[in-house]
Amino acid sequence: MNIISRISILLVTALLSAAALGGCKGKSEAPLFLESNRKGGEAEAPVKDVPTDILSTQKAFSNVSKKVTPSVVNISTVSRKKFVQPFFETNPLFEEFFGAPQTRRSKSLGSGFLISKDGYIVTNDHVVRDAESIQVKLSNDKIYDAKVVGGDQKTDIAVIKITASDLPTAVLGDSDKLEVGQWAIAIGNPFGLDRTMTVGVISATGRSNMGIETYENFIQTDASINPGNSGGPLLNVYGEVVGINTAIVAAGQGIGFAIPVNMAKPIFSQLIQKGSVSRGYMGVTIQPVTEELAQSFGLKQAKGALVNDIIKGGPADKAGIRQGDVITALNGNEVKDPSHLQRLVAEAGVGKTAKISIFRDGKALELSITLASADNAPKQRQREERGGQQGEGEADLLGLIVEKAEQGEGVTVVDAVRGGIAAESGIKRGDVIVSINRKKTSTPAEYARVIQQAGRGGHLTILVRRGDASIYFALRLK
């Protein structure tokens, strides 16, 4: 094939390719993806009619985030902790040869929220406790050094301060008005992820006896709370702070706890004003009212706090409260259990006169009590179980063997038969039985007479002294 023929073939091929390309340009190219017409594209959204209430709820959450997030801060701390190998820690020669135990720096993260324009921040006490240095990061990414104003371990509340002005502040709501099922919104710094927002509901209120803090009245929520959320705000749909996120149940999903803001306000107010917290004090020891005790005392419900001992010269003693009284209300607030009374007294205020409702000998009474400061309360002596040699003889209907107490009135339990009525109820060897059915038992003879009079099927309310403590037990003879 000569050169002219080759050129002719190439020209024909080029013309055919151009014709083919020209034909392609006449057709519309398929798009790589579909874009919504809500953003200027041609495709319609898969769901056209979104219910108005859903859109309103979504908008409400967005508004809360925009309005409140600027007042939420991220807190990072550095502390120094001792680090010793277990062998050296118990070996007295370690420090002599190797010097003082080594320490290592420990970092932690938490959250908080601004309550004043000049830099006061509320957080958890455990977030900043023992910190060598504290840094606070605001929503505008500015970082400040902070100092601790005061902390309260019993409620796990602390206040820290940064030097700044004209800062965005949170608005405090009313946690007493919370109801189960209401929306709950948490904003914080979980796992170091800045200003994370989670949403859930109020799962429960008034959670206590959790073993987390001394004074407990937690809000429970299923809004996701994780390490780093501690100290951050729990919000309602109005963007008001209703709680301080504090703890989680590590073994459970969606179980978080927050301190109610109404409980926190007097605490952080005192911390700002004087750096510490003073609480009211009654001067009693108390125990729960069980169903058996309620029946024994003639109460309709197993509520309140049973006074099992009075500290002489204390506020309760001066007010006329007696051993065996059941405290049912304080300042009109019904007492649910001992921990509830403890919290009510602490919040009532030092030097304030409170109205206290009691149930005594089948009658409801009201007394006035002037609360003292818990800081001035006498230190409770260390409780020790009294010993007691096992005695000879047969156990009584309660499964007890008793003898005259060596000191003071009452009879000492020298043996409690395993499986007996008394032992099953919690009475132990070494306890001193002071009274039965509110009648003193000074001698074994008096004790035996009361037991005999009660007979089988009878109900007994027994007051026991155990070390420095007094405890009531409700038993039924079989």
Candidate list 152, 156, 325, 431, residue with the active-site label? 156
Handedness of CA 226, 228, 230, 233 (dihedral sign): negative
Distance CA 370, CA 349 (A): 10
Q: How far is CA 428 from the centre of its chain?
A: 33
Please pick, among 111, 175, 208, 230, the residue that the annotation labels catalytic. Answer: 230
Cα separation of 63 and 72, whole Å?
Answer: 15
- Cα radius of gyration (the chain): 35
Query: Which residues share a beta bridge with 439?
Result: 436
In angstroms, the CA 32 to CA 352 distance is 75
Residue 300: partners with Cβ closer than 8 Å, 6 or more residues away: 294
Q: In whole angstroms, give the CA distance from residue 460 to residue 477.
A: 8
Q: How far apart are CA 463 and CA 467, in angstroms?
A: 13
Residue 230 is among the residues annotated as catalytic for this protein: yes
Tokens of 119: 């830099």
Residue 44's Cβ-count burial label (10 Å; 0-12, 13-18, 19+) is exposed
Q: What is the DSSP letter of 127?
A: H
Q: Are 233 and 220 in contact (CB under 8 A)?
A: no
State yes or no: is 222 an active-site residue: no
Q: Assess whether 337 carries a catalytic annotation.
A: no
Q: Compute the distance between CA of residue 390 and CA of residue 81 in angstroms, rounded to an integer.
A: 49
What φ, ψ does residue 375 adopt, rounded to 5°?
-65, -25
Paired strand residues for 91 = none
Token output for 283: 């001067």
Contacts of 82 (CB under 8 A, 6+ apart): 101, 102, 103
Active-site choice (76, 126, 296, 431): 126
- Residues with a catalytic annotation lie at 126, 156, 230
